[in-house]
A and B are shown apart, each in its own frame.
Chain A
């Protein structure tokens, strides 16, 4: 095995060479996935909490649906967004297909159910624990929502990280709606698919190692933040 065939060596060379192309791809990957998680969180955290606190007809069906959508195949999400953004589709006039924006939209659809469903479960557990105290304080559900979300923030961080994991790992959706255009919509996962199809297995795996390292760093950062603030709280 020559050094060029060793994926770890390739990964290390990639990182150390600070390759401009790779750098741009990494930045785009992070940008797309982080935006997607941010937007999905803004929408899904309140929705998850509301689902935990309010009881209304069809609630159970909604919960089941959200849980099921956690398993939505990325390629299906990609196809839906493709048909939506295609010139012939309802949002065609914006010309968003094959742009990073389209990739963010597709990933939001993938991440949203995960964050909403897991938030619902976390908040519901917390609520059943504190329901009596909260009620004795005279809080209605609307007032309970921010309190419970704040109280659950450490477990919700894990929930958000799960969403980020889904976003940064998927390839099926961004491939379809982004088109893997060099320098425009090429991200880490689509590069890996491309290099695999060229038979550049070592380079593909090297890119995979780079991606995994990045995701690990982000998770470590999140863990550090949560541990530090927990300790500060005593």
Chain B
């Protein structure tokens, strides 16, 4: 009875707001990271996929931690994130059945152009992190359990630093808001290259450190578990998953540039 009333109420609201707002049923929802959405990658590659398959992709751009949570609850059909360890755990936990490498880019450290900690003079990212900590230069951290935040924390650990104190500011925000804040307080920050290149409000911030192998940032696509969530559009999601690693998908990723600079580098191995 309660359920019937609920469905009538929900149905009524649905009727009012449906119509032109709801497009065809041939779509999947994809939880992904802010870096892929904010840089404009999806605007560049989704139309090619839609044209080939007739499937629209609706992107929900959140931090990797939140993306995992949304997928765990069965609220999206597909997942594209950048935390390989977390992704493997997600499969081990039984929420996804397959993971494929799709593309990579790299993390960089940005900071005030006068570089008070002198990180531009070193070649090792752990040394750069140690210099920031030793000079207690302000550092703006995501602090939001995102893929970037998790990578940053691993690097502090490698550098043998426990990041805490007045200089270390955990913002609990996405990459863009964190860069806005870092620019505002002229602090160092750890970011993926894609978000940085597409970012429009750098003020005095500049790219100070790049190129260490430890800064490799791998993106992976996950096929969600049919056992856990039988209601999801597994068939359509699987087409998307396969397309990303297909020649067409990989080419579309390679063709995407901002200011003539490629931001993501396709590196699918054909089948793992």
**B-binding residues in A (CB < 8 A):** 28, 31-32, 35, 39, 86-88, 91-92, 94-101, 104-105, 179-184, 194, 196-201
Chain B hits for A99, CB < 8 A: 14, 17, 21-22
Bound state CA distance, A179 and B77, in angstroms? 14
Q: A100-B22, A197-B38, A197-B180 are in contact. List 6 more A-B contacts (CB 8 A).
A: A87-B75, A94-B14, A95-B231, A100-B21, A179-B60, A199-B179
Residues of B within 8 A of A (CB-CB), count:
36
Interface positions, chain B 1-48, Cβ under 8 Å from A, are 6-7, 10, 13-14, 16-18, 21-23, 29, 34, 38, 43
**Which residue of chain B is the closest to A202 with respect to CB atoms?**
B200
**A95, B174: Cα distance in complex, Å:** 27
| A contact residues around B147 at 8 Å (CB) | none
Closest A residue to B34 by CB, please name it. Answer: A197
Most buried by B among A98, A104, A201: A98
B180 / chain A contacts, CB cutoff of 8 Å? 196-197, 199
Docked-complex contact A197 and B14, CB < 8 angstroms:
no
With A87-B73, A105-B13 as known contacts, state yes or no: A94 contacts B200, CB within 8 Å. Answer: no
B-to-A contact residues, CB < 8 Å:
6-7, 10, 13-14, 16-18, 21-23, 29, 34, 38, 43, 58-61, 73-75, 174-177, 179-180, 183, 198-202, 229, 231
CA distance A199 to B203 in the complex (A): 10
Q: Are the CB atoms of B14 and A96 closer together than 8 Å?
A: yes
Q: Give the CA-CA distance A184 to B22 in the complex, in Å.
A: 7
Taken together as a complex, chains A and B put the C-alpha atoms of A180 and B176 apart, in Å, by 15
The reply to whether B58 and A196 contact each other, CB–CB distance below 8 Å, is no
Report if A104-B13 is in contact (Cβ < 8 Å); known contacts: A88-B74, A197-B38: yes
Sample (20) of A-B pairs whose CB atoms are under 8 Å apart: A31-B21, A39-B13, A88-B74, A91-B10, A96-B14, A98-B60, A98-B75, A99-B17, A101-B13, A104-B17, A105-B13, A179-B58, A181-B60, A183-B23, A196-B180, A197-B180, A199-B179, A199-B183, A199-B200, A199-B201
Closest residue to B38 on the A side, CB-wise? A198
Across the interface, B17 reaches (CB within 8 A) one of A35, A194, A197, namely A35
A4 to chain B, nearest CB (A): 10
| Chain B residues with CB under 8 A of A198 | 38, 176, 198-200
Whole-angstrom distance from the CB of B42 to the nearest CB of chain A? 8
Task: Give the chain B neighbours of A91 by CB distance below 8 A.
Answer: 6, 10
Chain B residue nearest to A182 in the complex (CB): B59
Nearest-neighbour CB distance to chain A for B177, whole angstroms, equals 5
A181 to B17, Cβ gap below 8 A? no
Among A98, A101, A194, contact of B58 (Cβ-Cβ < 8 Å): A98
5 residue pairs, one from A and one from B, having the closest CB atoms: A197-B176, A199-B201, A87-B74, A199-B200, A179-B60
Given A31-B21, A199-B201: A98 in contact with B174 (beta carbons within 8 A): no
Q: Which of A39, A98, A197, A199 contacts B29 (CB 8 A)?
A: A98
Contact residues in A for B14 (Cβ distance below 8 Å): 94, 96, 99, 101
Complex CA gap A3/B75 in Å reads: 42
The interface residues of chain A lying within 8 Å CB-to-CB of B75 are 86-87, 97-98
Question: What residues on A are CB-neighbors of B74 within 8 Å?
Answer: 86-88, 92
Closest B residue to A178 by beta carbon equals B60
Highest count of chain B CB atoms <10 Å: which of A31, A35, A180, A199: A199
B73 touches A86 (CB 8 A): yes
A201:B200 contact, CB within 8 angstroms: yes
Residue pair B175, A197 in contact (C-beta under 8 Å): yes
Contact partners of A39 in chain B: CB under 8 A:
13
A residues less than 8 Å from B200 (CB atoms): 198-201
